Amino acid sequence: MAQLITTEMRKLKALIFQDDVDAVLRFLGEAGIVELIDVHEKIEAWGGTLKPFEVPAEMSQRYSSILSRIERLIKELELKPEELPSVERVPILKKRSEDILTDIENKLSEIEKRYSEISVSLKERKILTERLKGLAETSEKVALKEAISELTKKLTEARMELGKEIMLVKALTQMEEQVANAKSTVGAIREDLLTIQRTVEMEKGVTEAKALLAATATTAYLEAWVPTAHVEEATNLIKKATNGNCLVADEPPRPGEKVPTLVVTPTAITAPAPTPSLKAPLGHRPAFGAYARIVTAFGWPSPKEIDPTLFMAVTFPIIFGIMFADVGQGAVMAAFGLFLAFYRSRLEKQIERGRAKPPGDITRYFLICGELFISCGIAAILFGFLFGEFFGPSEVIHPITLVKFGPVQIGGFDPLGNPKQFMIFAVIVGVAHIASSIVLRLLTEIKRHHYKLIPMPMAWIWLLFGGTYMWLSFGGISNLDKWFTSPASLITFIISPLAIIILSTAIAESMMEGLAFGLEVFAETLGHTMSYLRLMALGLTHSVMNYLFLIMAGVEHGLIPLTGIPIIAAGTFLVMIFEGLAVFIHTLRLHWVEWFSAFFRGEGLPPTAAIPAPIVRGAPFKAFKFERS
């Protein structure tokens, strides 16, 4: 699958004379490379310098009247849609719309006069044709009467009827000759009608676009979003339309300004929907296919966002493995993932050779998740060793201590026997995960050139680690009074970073925004950190469920009786399905809610628009372009 590429956008500003507005909009509309911005919301900020661009109300009525006359003529000429030639291009005129409409109305009146001259011939041909059909039946009746009645008398009558038929055939032939001569006139009328229709539609689009502009006594002001690659082209079109009598400038988007998304692909994209693919979206390797689909299920990265797929491929298995820690069940999960990855590889080759059909949706998603099962299984094996879990707390293996510093210990304890230590470990993992999302937010602000906002994520990390230190040192909410026994620590780790967050946001936006965002950061830091206690809750639930089946199987001190193996196997099957699904959902929730909320919005577009490269337009980028009927 082609790599998804998002392009930079710039804001184009132009000041032109009002007499050149129509020509400028025609040139831009024919090119279709800009999205006009409604500047009416900014008129008050300019202190009365600009006012809305006035568009005469009668213009819309004239457009509707002309288009109705054109449709009537096309209907009377009995022209079918497939018979109408396409009008590839209408000459772009540097005239006012009012003058162009006057010329069009005069041209249309001339066409209507030409049509009235040939319409008589067309009607006469129709009448004669109907009469000829009637005579054919009369001649047949005469022939029957000649066979059963007097030949002489009926012959005379038949001759008279035949004479009438011959005269009508002659008249019809003469009429066909006239109609043949008129066909060239009809063709010319058809070409003129289509050209006029295209011109009127263009002028209608110009008039509608004027409603987005602002004006002074003699000039007009417009703003538009333009892809960076087309800024020079748009600027040259405006200068060409105004003969250089204009002021044009472009600038990057301002912080907080909503910019339309434009998706670019290196090759053309065709209209038909693609066949469901086993390939990874976002141009990633198959190993990251499942994680890329998790990201795109939330939303596609926009031009100014960081694609979190590769980071999620690391954090997702770790969080899953903590809640699903078990060496035996992790090995089963990894083996199942290897089978899916191997089968998918073979199936892809068979599909490419035409020897197999693409799988159904459910099968396809399972095959795509092969590497996800492998990575999550490996993580479950790792934390199974750290917590001493082998098909549950069977005592077959003992916990292994990886790292220990202060009250924090990674591994070396039994979750069921030491839930407090497991709680501390879960909170530390949550703090690390949230910190990684804030670092990605910092990189996102740098990518967006929001340099004024850089201190904010740095202070947020300071607040996160400072609050964690205070919690480990003085205790949680139940011991909140102890936090105030050390004012220096409270000021250093809590008040100072909050103040920096409020001030940096206030400088970039406003004081009210700064205060609101500061409170939001404080609440999110506290709430999101506590949300990671679900690591402990799900991990303990997983251990308890396995422990129940171990008791039923009669496992004691690491000894598994042969009669208990079927029970353990059935328990493993049930735990891996139900508990595995619950752990997956909570892992997904921690990423979509707690992790993505700091840096990822997913407001981009998938590369599915049916427009040739290099530009693929789609909402929210709405190019100002004249559509063809």
Domain boundaries, the chain: 1-45+211-261+615-629, 54-209, 263-598
Residue 402's pLDDT is: 87
Residue 181's pLDDT is: 45
Task: Give CA separation, 186 vs 69, 71, 117, 118, 434, in Å.
Answer: 16, 15, 11, 8, 73
List own/partner pairs for 395-403 with CB under 8 A and 24 or more apart. Answer: 395/557, 395/558, 396/558, 396/560, 397/327
Q: Return the closest-CA partner of residue 304 out of 260, 267, 341, 340.
A: 260
Q: How far apart are CA 229 and CA 234, in angstroms?
A: 10
Average pLDDT over residues 80-96: 51
Q: Return the closest-CA partner of residue 629 out of 14, 193, 299, 291.
A: 193
Residue 350's pLDDT is: 85
Bond prior to 359 in cis (omega within 30° of 0): no
User: What's the maximum distance between 2 C-alpha atoms anywhere in the chain?
Assistant: 138
Residue 155: pLDDT above 70?
A: no
Residue 533: pLDDT above 60?
A: yes
Give 220-235 pLDDT, tens digit per residue. 888 888 888 888 888 8
For residue 177, name the pLDDT band (cuts at 50, 70, 90).
very low
Give 462-494 pLDDT, tens digit per residue. 999 998 888 888 877 667 777 778 888 888 888
Tokens of 486: 């050390």
- 3-class DSSP assignment, residue 604: strand
Q: How far apart are CA 513 and CA 517, in angstroms?
A: 6
Query: Which neighbouring-strand residues pair with 51?
Result: 215
Residue 585's pLDDT is: 95
The fold adopted by the segment(s) 54-209 is subunit c (vma5p) of the yeast v-atpase, domain 2 (1.20.1460)
Average pLDDT over residues 75-90: 54
Task: Give CA separation, 64 vs 206, 209, 263, in Å.
Answer: 14, 17, 35
Q: How far apart are CA 497 and CA 468, in angstroms?
A: 13
Average pLDDT over residues 274-294: 65
Residue 218's pLDDT is: 84
For residue 266, name the pLDDT band (cuts at 50, 70, 90).
very low
Residue 173: pLDDT above 50?
A: no
Tokens of 31: 């090119």
- Residues 505 and 453 sit within 8 Å (Cβ to Cβ): yes
Q: How far apart are CA 288 and CA 282, in angstroms?
A: 10
Q: How far apart are CA 123 and CA 78, in angstroms?
A: 13
Q: How far apart are CA 92 and CA 24, in angstroms?
A: 10
More confident residue, 579 or 253: 579
Residue 370's CB is within 10 A of a number of other CB atoms, namely 24
Q: Which helix (H) or strand (E) holds 79?
A: none
Give 306-335 pLDDT, tens digit per residue. 889 889 999 999 999 999 999 999 999 999
More confident residue, 180 or 472: 472
Torsion of CA 326, 327, 330, 331, to 10 degrees: -160
Q: Return the closest-CA partner of residue 592 out of 319, 378, 371, 260.
A: 319
> What letter would DSSP give residue 493?
I
Per-residue HEC secondary structure of 238-266 comes to: HHHHHCCCEEEEEECCCCCCCCCCCEECC
Residue 201's pLDDT is: 66
Give 561-590 pLDDT, tens digit per residue. 788 888 888 988 998 899 999 999 999 999
Residue 623's pLDDT is: 66
Residue 515: pLDDT above 80?
A: yes
Q: How far apart are CA 18 and CA 217, in angstroms?
A: 9
In this structure, of 36-50, 132-146, 494-508, 605-619, the range with the lowest mean pLDDT score is 605-619
Q: The dihedral of CA 84, 88, 91, 97: what is its sign?
A: positive
Residue 253's pLDDT is: 78
Place of tokens 């001190």: 557
Residue 183's pLDDT is: 43
More confident residue, 361 or 594: 594
Residue 560's pLDDT is: 77
Give 338-384 pLDDT, tens digit per residue. 999 898 888 888 888 878 787 877 888 888 888 999 999 999 999 99
Residue 272: pLDDT above 50?
A: no
Q: Is CATH 3.30.70.120 what the domain over 1-45+211-261+615-629 is classified as, yes or no?
A: yes
Helices (H), 149-230: 151-210
Residue 404's CB is within 10 A of a number of other CB atoms, namely 12
Average pLDDT over residues 245-272: 64
Most confident listed range (41-45, 89-93, 155-159, 407-411): 407-411
Tokens of 472: 């480990």
Residue 268: pLDDT above 60?
A: no
Residue 563's pLDDT is: 81
Average pLDDT over residues 255-274: 52
Residue 337: pLDDT above 60?
A: yes
Residue 92: pLDDT above 60?
A: no
- Residues 504 and 459 sit within 8 Å (Cβ to Cβ): yes
For residue 157, name the pLDDT band (cuts at 50, 70, 90).
very low
Average pLDDT over residues 28-41: 78
Q: The dihedral of CA 506, 509, 511, 516: what is its sign?
A: negative
- Residues 291 and 316 sit within 8 Å (Cβ to Cβ): yes
- Mean of per-residue pLDDT scores for the chain: 75
Place of tokens 């000894």: 559
Tokens of 361: 């949706």
Place of tokens 């038909």: 272
Residue 375's pLDDT is: 94
Half-sphere exposure of 401 (CA within 13 A, CB side): 8
Tokens of 277: 């693919």
Task: Give CA separation, 181 vs 79, 127, 588, in Å.
Answer: 18, 19, 75
Most confident listed range (15-19, 132-136, 399-403): 399-403
In this structure, of 22-31, 252-261, 316-325, the range with the lowest mean pLDDT score is 252-261
